[in-house]
């Protein structure tokens, strides 16, 4: 069953074409890796999907669970089950992490017609999940992402994913800047969350992450276009030969 | 004869004083110092102009003597003193414990206080002069030596109408070794309210004041507070300005005793055509004192906000510690903020700092919140709340912290709606 269908998407930023005809189809239970050099448009693709202002498509189609979401606000997409783990998680000084998580989770629960958590119940819930994701209690008491190390920020993104139980998660370079131990923790979180009813788009430019999270499909995004798609072996090829071969071949 | 608007108010004041007070000759010492509203050429009124006020055809209100039956407490557990039309209403107020004394005082005591301040500048202030001449009575609230009031004291200002000015005058005195938490609420419906407040904090005492400005939307509030702080005492004050057409909270503080300190913090929340102003002058008269002014403003639509904070460190006031910081959030490109921190330092061994920032809500932060399912309104609430919470928690120790936070939330919800 289709979760996401992107058809021939074009997008310009400040009049400069950034995405130049992207198509991608993601079904339930699948993990797609999107790889590509810096500046190829990976984050732009993720912002476009999340509905960020200024990242509206110029032409093409985006369907999420068979609904055209191009006119949905970012919060409507999130509540419908689309999640973006940011490449650079944003610091929110003065906003307590627990309250932030509760607001997020309750927004989604409200959308799903489930009862919202009160503070006490939520703290119990978050403790349980945080423990599974190796997020320390003490981190939850701080302001969102403030004073978090690089690894803590990424773990906090994964914790949000685990709490929100999205249908589609887009992880934008969640692996970059992590050492092996942190990478293992994050991968553990992702694998634990993954099931046959949801899907993941893993944006990365290292093959390294794919040793821990095995993708069903790999797409190589270069200069705003998907130049090649294949199975996990494509990632290995890129690791050995770099993107140059693919760029030249195209 | 046709009067210019300014002169018109002056002649109404004169008539009011002549008609109503036996001690009119004493009152005229003040009245004679008021000729017209300060023009925008006067430095301290440049950023907060009184043109609109001078065009209002108003006269001082002869307070209605009958009392009103209203449930007008702000806190559930407090001692409340209610003012209506600028005068104290005993029948609407709570009975106070023995160690807190309410009385009337003479104009002479006000003059002595001003002499003690030893400052010429203040003598020309319009609020001082019109309110000292027009106040029906001068009320003193005294906290006796060695006494700490167990509950907050709240003073609420109601009444007035759109054709008149009202003139409450209050002296708050803390004798040695006493403590008080004071909340003042301005909820008048007058064209002009000109509250004059005199504060004396005796040695080893502790005063925390919260003022909430929430008058009617056509009201000018020209609040003036003059404080003398004695040795080893602390005065923390927090202003929440959200109502009125024009609300200015002006404080002049004289740190007269060593090891004393003052905090003059504030938040203004402004929208539509509102103008809000926090103005202060802090005099470090003696060594080893500390002062701090922290201001946060949130401005929407066409509103404007002003912070003018001046610190004067006198020559002998070594080891003074003075800080000022103003941060403003603009929610509209038509809103306008002015910060004017000023340091006038005559001593050489001091630590002083000041700074000011103006910005908008951060797009990355808002998008991060939206991407987690929160709607735009909620996202803005959260970021504004975060922007304001720190300073509120910093300014208030007393049990009513949560009440003040709620008042603040109501305030910024309102400016987001308009
Ligand atoms: N907000 C922006 N303003 C201007 N240019 C942008 C903006 N966002 C992305 N770009 C440009 O779009 C291109 C793709 O960027 P990005 O999507 O961040 O690449 P990647 O994530 O693959 O490294 C780059 O050339 C970048 O400079
Ligand atoms: Mg990127």
Q: Looking at the predicted structure, is the pLDDT value of residue B110 above 80?
A: yes
Q: Cα–Cα–Cα angle for B122, B124, B250, nearest 5°?
A: 50
Q: How far is B249 from chain A (nearest CA, A)?
A: 27
Interfacial residues of B (vs A; Cβ cutoff 8 Å): 363-365, 367-376, 378, 382-383, 385-387, 389-390
Tens of pLDDT, residues A187-201: 988 899 999 999 999
pLDDT at B67: 65
B370 falls within a domain: no
Q: Looking at the predicted structure, is the pLDDT value of residue B55 above 50?
A: yes
Residue corresponding to tokens 């008080």 = B180
* CATH code (residue A10): 3.40.50.300
pLDDT band at B2 (very low <50, low <70, confident <90, very high): very low
- Name which residue leads in pLDDT, A6 or B91: A6
What is the number of domains present in chain B? 1
Nearest ligand to residue A14 Cα: 1
Q: Which domain holds residue B224?
A: 7-362
Best B371, B374, B392 member to test A by mutation, with max A CBs in 10 Å, is B371
Rounded distance between C-alpha atoms, residue B51 and residue B357, angstroms: 28
Q: Looking at the predicted structure, is the pLDDT value of residue B418 above 90?
A: no
> Within its chain, how far is the Cα of B43 from the centroid?
19
B399 falls within a domain: no
Residue A160 at interface with chain B, using a CB cutoff of 8 Å: yes
Q: Which of A17, A33, A43 to mutate to test the pocket of ligand 1 (most atoms within 8 A of CB)?
A: A43
Burial of B315 (0-12, 13-18, 19+ CB in 10 A): exposed
Average pLDDT over every residue of B248-257: 98
Complex ipTM: 0.97
Q: Do B389 and A73 touch (CB under 8 A)?
A: no
Nearest ligand to residue A223 Cα: 1
B277 falls within a domain: yes
Q: Which domain holds residue A101?
A: 2-249
B302 falls within a domain: yes
Tens of pLDDT, residues B164-217: 999 999 999 999 999 999 999 999 999 999 999 999 999 999 999 999 999 999
B410 falls within a domain: no
Rounded distance between C-alpha atoms, residue B279 and residue B251, angstroms: 6
pLDDT at B201: 98
Query: Sign (positive/negative) of CA torsion B188, B190, B191, B194?
Result: negative
CA-proximal residue: ligand 1, atom 7 (nearest): A13
Q: Looking at the predicted structure, is the pLDDT value of residue B315 above 80?
A: yes
Q: Looking at the predicted structure, is the pLDDT value of residue B1 above 50?
A: no
B78 falls within a domain: yes
Search chain B and give the residue with CA nearest A93.
B386
Closest CA to B177 of B139, B203, B213, B140: B203
Instruction: Tell me which residues have their CB closer than 6 angstroms to ligand 1.
Output: A 13-14, 18, 36, 38-44
pLDDT at B5: 56
Burial of A248 (0-12, 13-18, 19+ CB in 10 A): exposed
Contacts of residues A229-236 at CB distance under 8 Å and 24 or more positions apart, as own/partner, are A235/A33, A235/A35, A235/A207, A235/A210, A236/A207
Closest CA to A106 of A163, A176, A65: A163
Q: Looking at the predicted structure, is the pLDDT value of residue A179 above 90?
A: no
B224 falls within a domain: yes
Residues of chain A positioned with their CB less than 8 A from the CB of B412: none
Search chain B and give the residue with CA nearest A79.
B373
pLDDT at A243: 85
Determine which helix (DSSP H) or strand (DSSP E) holds B281, and give its type and residue range. Answer: strand B275-284
Rounded distance between C-alpha atoms, residue B82 and residue B98, angstroms: 19
Average pLDDT over every residue of B137-162: 96
C-beta of residue B134 within 8 angstroms of C-beta of residue B160: no
Q: What percent of chain B has pLDDT over 70?
A: 97
Average pLDDT over every residue of B347-367: 95
pLDDT at B71: 66
What is the number of domains present in chain A? 1
B414 falls within a domain: no
CA B304 to ligand 1 centroid distance, Å = 37
Closest CA to B288 of B312, B317, B311, B313: B317
pLDDT band at A249 (very low <50, low <70, confident <90, very high): low
Q: Which atom of ligand 1 is nearest to the CA of A221?
A: 22
C-beta of residue B160 within 8 angstroms of C-beta of residue B193: yes
């Amino acid at each position: 069953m289709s979760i996401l269908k992107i058809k021939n998407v074009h997008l310009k930023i400040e009049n400069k074409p950034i995405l130049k005809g992207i198509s991608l189809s993601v079904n339930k239970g699948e993990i797609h890796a999107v790889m590509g050099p810096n500046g190829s448009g990976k984050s732009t693709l993720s912002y476009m999907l999340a509905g960020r202002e200024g990242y509206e498509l110029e032409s093409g189609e985006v369907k999420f669970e068979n609904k055209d979401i191009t006119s949905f606000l970012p919060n409507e997409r999130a509540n419908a089950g689309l999640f973006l783990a940011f490449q650079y998680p944003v610091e929110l000084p003065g906003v307590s992490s627990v309250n932030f998580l509760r607001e997020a989770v309750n927004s989604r629960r409200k959308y799903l017609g489930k009862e919202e958590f009160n503070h006490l119940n939520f703290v119990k819930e978050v403790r349980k999940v945080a423990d599974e994701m190796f997020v320390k209690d003490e981190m939850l008491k701080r302001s969102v992402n403030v004073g978090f190390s690089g690894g803590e920020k990424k773990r906090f993104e994964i914790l949000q994913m685990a709490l929100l139980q999205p249908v589609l998660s887009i992880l934008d370079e969640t692996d970059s800047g992590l050492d092996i131990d942190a990478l293992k923790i994050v991968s553990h979180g992702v694998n634990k969350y993954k099931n046959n009813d949801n899907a993941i788009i893993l944006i990365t430019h290292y093959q390294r992450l794919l040793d821990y999270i095995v993708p069903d499909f790999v797409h190589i995004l270069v200069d705003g276009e998907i130049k090649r798609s294949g199975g996990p072996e494509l990632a290995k090829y890129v690791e050995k030969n770099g993107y140059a071969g693919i760029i030249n071949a195209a | 004869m046709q009067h210019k608007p300014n002169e018109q108010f002056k002649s109404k004041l004169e008539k009011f004083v002549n008609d109503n007070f036996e001690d009119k000759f004493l009152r005229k010492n003040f009245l004679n110092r008021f000729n017209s509203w300060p023009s925008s050429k006067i430095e301290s009124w440049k950023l907060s102009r009184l043109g609109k006020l001078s065009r209002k055809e108003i006269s001082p209100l002869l307070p209605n003597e009958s009392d009103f039956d209203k449930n007008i407490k702000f806190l559930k557990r407090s001692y409340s003193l209610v003012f209506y039309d600028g005068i104290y209403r005993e029948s609407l107020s709570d009975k106070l414990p023995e160690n807190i004394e309410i009385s009337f005082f003479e104009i002479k005591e006000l003059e002595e206080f001003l002499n003690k301040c030893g400052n010429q500048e203040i003598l020309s202030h319009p609020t001082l002069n019109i309110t000292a001449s027009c106040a029906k009575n001068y009320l003193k609230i005294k906290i006796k030596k060695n006494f700490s009031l167990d509950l907050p004291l709240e003073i609420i200002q109601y009444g007035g109408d759109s054709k008149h000015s009202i003139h409450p005058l209050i002296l708050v005195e803390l004798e040695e070794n006493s403590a008080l938490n004071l909340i003042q609420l301005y909820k008048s419906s007058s064209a002009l309210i000109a509250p004059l407040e005199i504060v004396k904090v005796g040695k080893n005492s502790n005063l925390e004041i919260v003022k909430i400005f929430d008058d009617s939307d056509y009201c000018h509030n020209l609040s003036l507070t003059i404080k003398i702080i004695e040795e080893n005492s602390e005065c923390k004050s927090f202003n929440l300005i959200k109502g009125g057409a024009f609300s200015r909270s002006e404080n002049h503080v004289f740190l007269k005793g060593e090891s004393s300190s003052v905090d003059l913090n504030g938040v203004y929340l402004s929208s539509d055509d509102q103008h809000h102003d926090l103005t202060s002058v802090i005099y470090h008269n003696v060594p080893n004192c500390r002062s701090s002014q922290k201001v946060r403003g949130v401005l929407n639509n066409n509103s404007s906000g002003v912070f003018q904070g001046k610190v004067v460190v006198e020559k002998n006031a070594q080891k003074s510690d003075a800080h000022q910081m103003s941060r403003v959030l603009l929610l509209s490109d038509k809103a306008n903020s002015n910060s004017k921190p000023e340091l006038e330092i005559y001593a050489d061994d001091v630590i002083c700092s000041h700074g000011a920032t103006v910005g908008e809500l951060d797009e990355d932060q808002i998008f991060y919140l939206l991407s987690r399912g929160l709607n735009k309104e909620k996202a803005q609430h959260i970021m504004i709340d975060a922007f304001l919470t720190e300073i509120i928690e910093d300014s208030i120790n007393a049990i009513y912290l949560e009440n003040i936070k709620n008042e603040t939330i109501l305030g910024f919800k309102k400016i987001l709606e308009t």
